[in-house]
Chain A
Amino acid sequence: MLKILLLTISIFAVVFLEHLFLKIFSISLFALLGIYLWHRGMNWTYILIFVLLGLALDVTMHLPLGLHTVALGISILFAQLAKTVIPTEGFVHESIILLISTLLFYILFLVLNPVILDFSLPSISLKTVLYIVIKSLVSVLLYFFITLSTQSFRSKDFDKIRLK
């Protein structure tokens, strides 16, 4: 029961934060969270939550239904294919895969909307590509900042409870 309550509150929080981050930094928390949690290895709940989140964001941004879900699915598929080629044990390798996955998400987001609505491709200038690359870099930095923070937060407790 508590888990369901926490999940419900989290969904609302993610919708709020996604709009807030997009307004202030133009960064998609949905993409970052989706790729991060997939990488951690979640269960069926992951699919249900991210489909619902994707649909909610599609409606609040007045986009075609399914756009966020399809973009996330393709980005994660790419990350999965990349993992078979690039080993993910190292910090550099993991960051490269994450960077290209988030870059792909932003490009797909830009391209899929006019394709689904009007069957036309948008014009992508060099300025737009540069903007997307910068957003992806900032997203990756944010991802590692959060990962390192959570790891350092946990490491102090683990040292204390280790049995000899």
Chain B
Amino acid sequence: MTKSKVELQNIQPYILLAIGALFVLLDKGGFSGGIRSSLSYVFEPVSFVADDTGDTVSEWGYALVDASSYISELNSLKEELVIAKSSESSILLLQEENATLKEQLSLSNREDTFIAAKVLDYSPEGTIRINVGEADGIKEGDVVQLGKVFVGVVEQADGLGSLVRIPINKSSHYEIAILPQNTQVDEELPINSLVKATGVASGSVSGIKLENIGINAEVSDGDIVVLRDGRIGGILVLGRVVGLINNPASTSKSGFVSPVFDYANLITVYVKTN
């Protein structure tokens, strides 16, 4: 290798670091919109195809590993099909229950605009990737929910996709209110008269922590935790209180929130854009 090539090889890492740091500062300062949108326009279609292909290959890999469980599942499904076909009356009851659940889960506030999104990826660090972005009207800070349940907040929106921060993320901190166990949560709820306690919900490695609950508050496991944060708007359910710690020596109570559903199993979510 010639002397000039060796010198170039020696300064390349410093140049990469300097250029990388410059782009980090540009991004933090909010001057990267043009760069992100143009790169997103060119490269996101390629990345979506690659992610789809990778998912398909991974699924085939899991299928090969779990082949025996799929065979037993197929046999049990065959039995279930026979039972279902032979009892039509139970199917009619299930249809009616399905319609009732859909009505209960429907959003009561018709003025809000929602965009349906598919969840592409889940990270244990507390983020999910969805398949809608700036092209669909999504922007940073938009709330993501499923029915009346809070899913997260859009952290980064690009052309065709976005990154959502979910409550188990270490950087998630929300003001919450705790309601009695059997409360029916909707927009007309007179929340102020029902609140048992207020506090803060923070994401952590061990789950969603509840902190700063009044020491005299009559909170118990199973109580409903709802978000009452100005950044979110509206009343959204986070989960239920579990693992409440009543330490007489402490000035406040703490505990954890058991989410309504497992964020890793989400398939479809809705982003509120108005």
Contact = CB atoms under 8 A, between A and B. Distances in A.
A73 B13 CA distance: 5
A62 B48 CA distance: 13
A19 to B, nearest CB: 3
A137 B46 CA distance: 28
Contacts of A54: 20
A95 interface: no
Interface in A22-61: 22-24, 38, 41, 43-44, 46-47, 50-51, 54-56, 59-61
Nearest to A64: B27
A146 interface: no
A122 B170 contact: yes
Contacts of B23: 55, 65-66, 69
Interface in A45-102: 46-47, 50-51, 54-56, 59-74, 76-77, 80
Contact of B47 (A19, A66, A67, A72): A19
Given A55-B39, A59-B40, A69 B16 contact: yes
Interface residues of B, number: 52
Given A62-B129, A62-B162, A70-B20, A19 B156 contact: no
B24 to A, nearest CB: 4
Nearest to A55: B39
Contact of A117 (B5, B16, B155, B161): B155
A122 to B, nearest CB: 6
A148 B42 CA distance: 34
Nearest to A123: B205
Interface stretch (B49-57, B63-71, B99-107): B49-57
Interface in B170-188: 170-171
Contact of B55 (A23, A55, A66, A70): A23
Of all A-B residue pairs in the complex, the 5 with the closest CB atoms, nearest first, are A23-B54, A66-B23, A69-B20, A73-B16, A19-B50
Contacts of B142: none
A24 B57 CA distance: 7
A76 B54 contact: no
Contacts of B268: none
Contacts of A47: 12, 15-16, 19
Most A CB within 10 A of own CB, among B13, B20, B158: B20
A66 B170 CA distance: 22
